Amino acid sequence: MKTVGLKKWIIPAVFALLCLFAACGQAAEEPLAQAEEPLTTQTQQQPVREPIAEAPSDGIKEKIAGMTPEQKVGQMFLAHWPGEKAEELAAEYHLGGYVFFADYFENRTPEQVKEELTACQAAQNIPMLMAVDEEGGGVTRISQYPQYRQQPFASPQRLYNNGGLQRVAQDTIEKCELLNGLGINLNLAPVCDISQNPGDYIYYRTLGRDEKDTRAYVACVVAAMKGSGVGCTLKHFPGYGGNADTHTGVVMDNRSKEQFRQRDFEPFVGGIRAGAGSVMVSHNIAACMDGQNPASLSPEVHRVLREELEFDGVIITDDLTMEGIRQFIPDKEAAVAAVLAGNDLLCCSSFESQIPAVLEALEKGEIDMETIDAAVERILRWKMELGLIA
């Protein structure tokens, strides 16, 4: 796995990127300048064009061609760490990764975590994503415990208010160093949601500023994480806004599509253009796009993300064990619906029942193999980018 390099060269590189975003942030929105007039036929000469050679294969498609349906579907599950049998279950179900919550870290030392995760990785044919929510502030799965860090990581609002984007970049690099040292290769951050109302559920996890500042913040975090060996996730698409908590129930969002385009999409666009590898989709029902399904299970919401925002990386569901899903659809059906909607990774799922459900749907023709192969290709290419696959 790649490791974070010396700060003396990373931080200047990050700041150079930030300057580029600041100076050229709006340029990408403008149409390309018109090309110069062509030369006249009397003076114009046709260049000799060499045949275009095919790009060398990186082996991903060949790897997928040699995988069984069980191995492919297993890669699409980012499961909650199950405990003592984690190595065996990951191998049996061919899991794409594990997610860790605070209870895992509370009574372990950094050395124990590193040893356990290394052993689990060694038991797998394909290296796993090892994920955590280390946003800072109210969501610190690891740094809330003193054996990992003297002080928990600060919230985005506190960082920004006490040092701007420079402080944000430094904090991001420190997070990556901590996670790398533990064997964690995916931070489910940054939060791209926009809220300026302390009464909103999501407010204290956000930057607490408008779409312009939030976009710059997200681009900064993504730029600082590039090349660190730790992946990032933009969340929670299409944007929480002032909605209630989907951990506790089904939530309807009645904002217009224009509001989403002008405001909530902006930070996601910034993160995508900065090179984010994944986007997490929320369970809010965005009525202007699909009034029948949570965003995480909506083909239309995924179409917007792919086609309108031009995202070609890995799409992750929010936690499928949240009540915003469980009150809406049974577990097995949720997994099939999530795949059909366009998700690549199913997060924190009941994988022991949901993987067989997806395989059954595949066998019956409800899900086609092309859909599975496309998702697995995105996942494996991301793992390659993170240095997990050679």
Virtual torsion, Cα 121, 124, 125, 131, nearest 10 deg:
-50
> How many angstroms from the chain centroid is the CA of residue 276?
7
| Res 55: pLDDT | 53
Residues of the chain with confidence (pLDDT) below 70: 1-56
Half-sphere exposure of 311 (CA within 13 A, CB side): 31
Which residues make beta-bridge pairs with 132? 100, 187
* In the chain, domain spans: 83-385
pLDDT, residue 250, reads: 83
In this structure, what DSSP letter does residue 29 have? Answer: G
pTM: 0.86
User: What string of DSSP letters covers 358-389?
Assistant: HHHHHHHTSS-HHHHHHHHHHHHHHHHHTTS-
Taking each helix axis from N to C terminus, what angle separates 351-364 and 331-341, rounded to the nearest 10 degrees? 60
Q: Return the pLDDT at 56.
A: 64
343 with 302: CB under 8 angstroms?
Answer: yes
Task: Return the half-sphere exposure (C-beta side, CA atoms, 13 A cut-off) of residue 85.
Answer: 5
Burial of 244 (0-12, 13-18, 19+ CB in 10 A): middle
C-alpha triplet 208, 210, 212: angle, nearest 5°? 125
How far is 249 from 278, CA to CA, in rounded Å? 25
Q: Which DSSP string do the residues of 52-106 spell out, in sequence order?
A: PPPPPP-SHHHHHHT--HHHHHHHTEEEEP-STTHHHHHHHHT-SEEEE-HHHHH
Domain 83-385 fold:
TIM Barrel (3.20.20)
Looking at residue 284, its pLDDT comes to: 94
What whole-number distance in Å separates Cα of residue 97 and Cα of residue 316? 12
**Cα atoms found within 13 Å of the Cα of residue 255, Cβ hemisphere only:** 20
Q: Where are the alpha helices (DSSP H) in 183-322?
A: 211-225, 257-259, 265-273, 299-303
**pLDDT score for 387:** 96
- Alpha helix stretches (DSSP H) within the chain: 7-24, 60-65, 69-75, 86-93, 102-106, 110-122, 156-161, 164-182, 211-225, 257-259, 265-273, 299-303, 323-326, 331-341, 351-364, 369-385
Residue-level pLDDT at 348: 86
